Structure 1
């Protein structure tokens, strides 16, 4: 599989940085309100921080608005039997660990807004394979993990808006490969818009 050269180009970094900076400025009032609601309803911490595997295998701290109970990581083993995603991924449709407005944040994708900071720092991109927690990344087949780690992980991808994303490990890999074989600012915008559309459709169809 050949990764598109755009993923290693200055143009992609420029697009990521400029767009993330603009969105952080525009959405800062939204982030402030969401932070306040989380603080009032569930207390601290407001942010969820987790070690994820990035480009070249470098580990970084991914940021999200906290949507789950503070001991969610410890409860993961308890709810392992409810996992709906192919191993090593972990996903529960109606996760019992959600608290406050957490479920709503996750359904709308607003919990991902702090990752704009990860993009500004150069740890992530708008489009690319989703960054996995370190143990999950280590559980991937070696060849797949090797090409994933050639590029920066992303917020959006074909996997993100696919209804088949939790079907099988093979389908997950196919969707990620389909993302990185194409490249360009236009392709990035397309992936972002399709992902947002899928999130909105999923939200209003429930």
Structure 2
């Protein structure tokens, strides 16, 4: 998790620095021209050669920054130290470029422009680095903090607590600390069920193998990342991966997709797609809202608390398709439940209104969930969010791992038959989606959802 976020920030930082150096090279050309000299290259040099030389200068400058450790520093480094690192890198860049021009006997290049480029680049990348650090820390404070549980002795836990305090850019908060020599894996399992936990860090290697293994398996069931300083635990689902925290090697057991460019693209696509769809369907949604209001008493929207990622509770929106007191009447209808497991489904539910049957058959009642997607509470594709009370009634612990990924409007369950599929198979399809997730899988599910919606397949 930490490495994933850090790599993304680092790569984005480098891309922006490359763009800044392109701008600096253009400004250097312009400045030198206004000083009465030709552009960087004289007219005897062809345009293609100009582009090649410009590209070479920028690439050399970029790799000089990398070699000098400009991108390996941590938040809180001395601004003066960062500045002199940039100076050293650009000095190396100038020396390499000048040496290359000399060896290749290129005489039609204005050397002064290269020095101007180097000076501008030092200032640009240094100022941007300072701004980038400030924005990183600010963003870490503004976004929801990821929560961690530390498992180990108080002294070993304190070392990790100190590291977390020194690095606010991690956006990590210690939710609780456990000691397996005093407490058990059952205490950890209870905590994971009651609190939204993003990762568990095992800080001690002194606990017995059985205790650590039980605790790791509890994390696996919940779909929570587990970090430890050992490699002796075997899991059936979680994928082990190496990570590190300030030089401390960690083995991470992931049973859900890790932070990556693909996952970030999914999030961006979700919000942009939701915004576009809301604009496109706004006239239709207005018509549906008016029809609901005129056809039955009660609110237009149905709001219900659902379990989101890691069990975080959010209010899911739907167009109301039932009578206003539907939830109060559910208890008397439980004997007619056609779905196994804790989920309640009836093919001919008497609480559904006339317009509600049409909305459900066409899935138009789901359109308000685009607002949930826009807010970041849901995704376009992901396991369907279940009511909180139904999640609490899960009988098999493995079913809770579906909470390890953001819920969605459609998923494998929808395109495989929806209400015609049993609860156990539904849960297995959700876990199959999590274990095999890719952008291509999301794209295929979205394409297959269209005919399912149009045909009303499996809709109650």
Larger relative CO (CA 8 A, sep 6+): 1 or 2?
A: 1
Residue 297 of structure 2 contacts residue 323 of structure 2 at CA under 8 Å; is this kept in 1? no
Return the alpha-carbon distance in structure 2 between the equivalents of residues 101 and 114 of structure 1.
16
1:200 is displaced (CA, Å) by 2.2
Return the alpha-carbon distance in structure 1 between the equivalents of residues 419 and 365 of structure 2.
19
Equivalence for 1:178: 432
Question: Per-residue displacement from partner, 1:122-157 (whole Å, max 9, x unpaired)?
Answer: 100111111000010111122321x22211111111
Q: Map 1:100-179 to 2 at 5 A.
A: 100-140=354-394, 141-145=396-400, 147-163=401-417, 166-179=420-433
Say which structure is richer in helix.
2
1:180 is displaced (CA, Å) by 1.9
Larger Rg: 2
Paired residue secondary structure (2:376): coil
1:79 is aligned to 2:337: no
Return the alpha-carbon distance in structure 1 between the equivalents of residues 408 and 349 of structure 2.
23
Q: Provide closer, same or farther for how the CA distance between residues 43 and 9 of structure 1 changes in structure 2, counting only shifts above 3 A.
A: same
Paired residue secondary structure (1:19): helix
1:43 is displaced (CA, Å) by 3.4
1:170 is displaced (CA, Å) by 2.4
Q: Provide closer, same or farther for how the CA distance between residues 183 and 12 of structure 1 changes in structure 2, counting only shifts above 3 A.
A: same
Note the residue ranges of structure 2 that are not aligned, 5 or more in a row: 1-236, 238-254
Residue 341 of structure 2 contacts residue 424 of structure 2 at CA under 8 Å; is this kept in 1? no
Note the residue ranges of structure 1 that are not aligned, 5 or more in a row: none
Task: Identify the match of residue 270 of structure 2 among 16, 27, 37.
Answer: 16
Equivalence for 1:3: 256
Question: Per-residue displacement from partner, 1:90-119 (whole Å, max 9, x unpaired)?
Answer: 111111111130011011100000000000
What is the alpha-carbon root mean square deviation over aligned residues?
A: 2.3
TM-score with structure 2 length normalisation?
0.42
Return the alpha-carbon distance in structure 2 between the equivalents of residues 202 and 118 of structure 1.
23
Q: Map 1:9-88 to 2 at 5 A.
A: 9-88=263-342
Question: Per-residue displacement from partner, 1:4-39 (whole Å, max 9, x unpaired)?
Answer: 447882111001011000000111000000001011
Return the alpha-carbon distance in structure 2 between the equivalents of residues 195 and 174 of structure 1.
19
TM-score with structure 1 length normalisation?
0.91
Residue 297 of structure 2 contacts residue 324 of structure 2 at CA under 8 Å; is this kept in 1? no
